[in-house]
Chains A and B, each alone.
Chain A
Amino acid sequence: MSEVPGELKYTKSHEWVRIEADGSVVVGITDHAQDQLGDMVYIEVPEAGTSFAAGDACAVVESVKAASDVYAPIAGEVTEGNDALADSPELVNQDPFGDGWLMKLNPGDSSELDGLMDAEAYQAFLESEEH
């Protein structure tokens, strides 16, 4: 069973979002997503200063099996990409909600966060996808 931390927000394309005290957000892919994709071998994160609209492809995670786009959960400007992933893409497998984070964003419109799923809704979504 995949881990779904209660304090995070989620998208249907399996990104997670953590809202920090200063209003910025951290984005990664979920435990379910990393498990489905398998061993990560190459990850491309955006540079600071890049802006995205909600739903834009903003990063690429490549497992041995396939390349997959990661989509911006909300609109915003990237303040930092996780450079550690360039040398250690396996962090996404080992710690998807921690050291395997992908990027930090300054939200363009914080109200977009309300449109994301909470842990309970995401858990139900995963179960519905399995059937």
Chain B
Amino acid sequence: MGRHTPLYDLHVRQGGKLVDFAGWDMPINYGSQVDEHHQVRRDVGMFDVSHMTVVDLHGDNTRAFLRKLLANNIDRLQAPGKALYSCMLNEQGGVIDDLITYYVREDCFRMVVNAATRDKDLDWIRRQAEPFGVEVQERDDLAMIAVQGPNAREHVLNLLPATLRDGAAELKPFFAALNGMQESGWFVARTGYTGEDGFEIVLPEADAPRLWQALFDNGVSPIGLGARDTLRLEAGMNLYGSDMTEETTPLESGLSWTLAWEPAERDFIGRAALEAQREAGVASKLVGLVLEGKGVIRNHQKVITEAGEGEVTSGSFSPTIGGSIALARIPAAAGDKVEIEIRGKRIPARVVKPPFVRHGEVRV
């Protein structure tokens, strides 16, 4: 038996099909992954993401520490609640994890890291934090519910504590509101992983089942992790462990936009390796693919291009497009027509720039 989130009993009661996900028993779907996917694109749905790890960083040197730890520049966060997406790299420039950091106060930043990389991340962060005297606090007392879809906001706002409601209503994308700045309380961020508008709500474990039930009673359907994956792929967002790994750098994973090279004197972990790679030229690139023939693209299938072979890093059926799409790492010199080897046959595909779908609209 795996670990259970505080919403486990509700998942069972609501018909969730539970699978092992990074050591957690999580709902893969509640009946139909495709229906759940459409539900989020067209209306609103909610995900239990309590298996993700919230890490609070405390101490006067926290900002200095994050300047070193993150490849993106923490100095972009000056206003309380502002969020930053970044990779955390090893010395070779490989991606240890991708994460979101929120600015709470000058001596307190909050990070949300992936479930599958929890132990590795905490170990790395603690080791790097030590010389800065930064306290690393894992918040396993908190749960997390994501509500996503074009109608997400109206379904969420009236269920928030009164002290948070106005703040949450006014949030710009990629900002968070805190309940009276109390780290023990609710934390609502206008972030997500589906390419739709919505909120990610961090809250005390004891409050999570009540909010889930209230959202459900307010017409918000539970959505499994299966649809979360097809939604994020359509949104062109990388999945850690598939599209980026410790063996690949952000330059090879379509994440150059998350690298803050300026100021040049900011010596973040992995910088030297990335500069050397940029100088030497990056041999591969991560691209989007749309299958033009029949079939479904799957992870690790071979991509044949004029410039050599590549590999699918995330492939699936796209419910919104009604065909198959993928992210793939291919030679940098490859053109926009490729073939994918699917079960012994070569099927043509078109190279595109993700996202495939954004705010419900097909973009490729």
Contacts and interface: CB of A to CB of B under 8 A. Distances in A.
B47 interface: no
B343 A42 contact: no
Contact of B33 (A38, A42, A60, A62): A38
Contacts of B298: 66-67
Interface string A38-75: 11011010000000000000001010111100000000
Contacts of A44: 294-295
Contacts of B334: none
B23 to A, nearest CB: 20
A39 B296 contact: no
Given A42-B294, A42-B295, A42-B296, A65 B33 contact: yes
A64 B33 CA distance: 8
Interface residues on A, range: 10 to 19
B294 A39 contact: no
Interface residues on B, range: 10 to 19
* Residue of A39, A62, A66 contacting most chain B CB atoms (<10 Å): A39
Given A62-B317, A67-B298, A41 B34 contact: yes
Given A38-B226, A41-B317, A42-B317, A64 B343 contact: no
A131 to B, nearest CB: 15
B296 A67 contact: yes
A44 B296 CA distance: 11
A39 B227 CA distance: 11
Contacts of A66: 298
B354 to A, nearest CB: 19
B218 interface: no
Interface in B316-362: 316-317, 319, 324, 343
Contacts, number: 38
B34 to A, nearest CB: 4
B230 interface: yes
B29 interface: yes
Given A38-B226, A42-B317, A67-B343, A62 B295 contact: yes
A72 to B, nearest CB: 17
A42 B34 CA distance: 13
Interface in B28-42: 28-29, 32-35
Given A38-B226, A42-B317, A67-B343, A62 B32 contact: no
A41 B32 contact: no
Nearest to A86: B294
A38 B295 CA distance: 16
Given A64-B226, A66-B298, A39 B34 contact: yes
A38 B296 contact: no
* Residue of B33, B317, B343 contacting most chain A CB atoms (<10 Å): B317
User: Nearest 4 CB-CB pairs, A to B?
Assistant: A41-B317, A39-B34, A62-B296, A64-B33
Given A39-B32, A64-B33, A64-B230, 18 more contacts: A38-B28, A38-B33, A38-B226, A41-B296, A41-B317, A42-B294, A42-B317, A42-B324, A60-B343, A62-B296, A64-B34, A64-B316, A64-B319, A65-B33, A67-B296, A67-B298, A67-B343, A86-B294
25 contacts: A38-B29, A38-B226, A39-B32, A39-B35, A41-B34, A41-B296, A41-B317, A42-B296, A42-B317, A42-B324, A44-B294, A60-B343, A62-B296, A62-B317, A64-B33, A64-B34, A64-B226, A64-B230, A64-B316, A64-B317, A65-B33, A66-B298, A67-B298, A86-B294, A93-B32
Interface of B: 28-29, 32-35, 226, 230, 294-296, 298, 316-317, 319, 324, 343
Interface of A: 38-39, 41-42, 44, 60, 62, 64-67, 86, 93
